[in-house]
Structure formats: C-alpha cells, structure tokens
Amino acid sequence: MDNSRYDPDLRREQLQRWQRKAAELEYYAERLAEERFTGTSDSGLVTAEVDGNGRLLDISVSDEALEQAHPQNIGPDAVEAIAQARATAAVTAMSWTESVVGEVSA
C-alpha cells in the first residue's frame, strides 16, 4: 500500500499548489476579459471585435458592402467575422489555461 497518499504534508503541499493554480486561472480570466480580438470576413467587407469572453463589442461594415447590389450578403459576412474573432479568443483562452493547468501535475 502506498502511504504517500495519506501523508498530510504531501496533501497540504498539493492543496497549496492547486490553490496557486486557481489564483493564476482567476488572474488570466480577468486579463482575458480585457483583451480584444478581431475577425474579418473572407470577403474583407465586415470586421468584428470581441472581448476575451467572446462578447461582441463592435462590428464594422465597409462602405463597399453597403453599396453593393446584394446587401443581404452582409449578414453572412457578419456571422463569419464574429465567428473568426471568437475563435481567436477561444484559442488564446485555451492556450493560457493549458499553460497553467498543464503545470499542475508536474
């Protein structure tokens, strides 16, 4: 039987390590909420900005898009730009989280 599982000093040390990681995650969550991420539709006609939580902050539609013969294309371009911005935010969030959580078992 492995008595190290019941070693109070070891358990205290592990708990402290997890508490430090939790504090780091909280710090990164706050920092991420302040970050801004931009996405642009493939056509280049619509640009969106989101925060690190994926909340839409701004959307820009080019004059060219507004003057085109088919303005109904703006909607799909807007969805594309927002999705791209949110994907970038998600990749960043995942990377930051992995940098903290990945170290826990080490």
Q: Which superfamily does CATH assign the domain made up of 3-101 to?
A: Nucleoid-associated protein YbaB-like domain (3.30.1310.10)
- C-beta pairs of 12-15 under 8 Å, 24+ apart in sequence: none
pLDDT in tens, the chain (106 residues): 566 677 888 989 989 988 998 998 899 889 999 999 999 999 999 999 999 999 999 999 999 888 886 778 899 999 999 999 999 999 999 888 888 887 544 4
pLDDT of residue 54: 94
**What phi and psi, each to the nearest 5 degrees, are found at residue 50?**
-125, 160
* pTM assigned to the model: 0.75
pLDDT of residue 44: 94
Judge whether 58 and 38 are in contact, CB under 8 Å. Answer: no
For the chain, the structural domain boundaries read: 3-101
Alpha-helical (H) ranges within 1-73 are: 8-34, 63-67
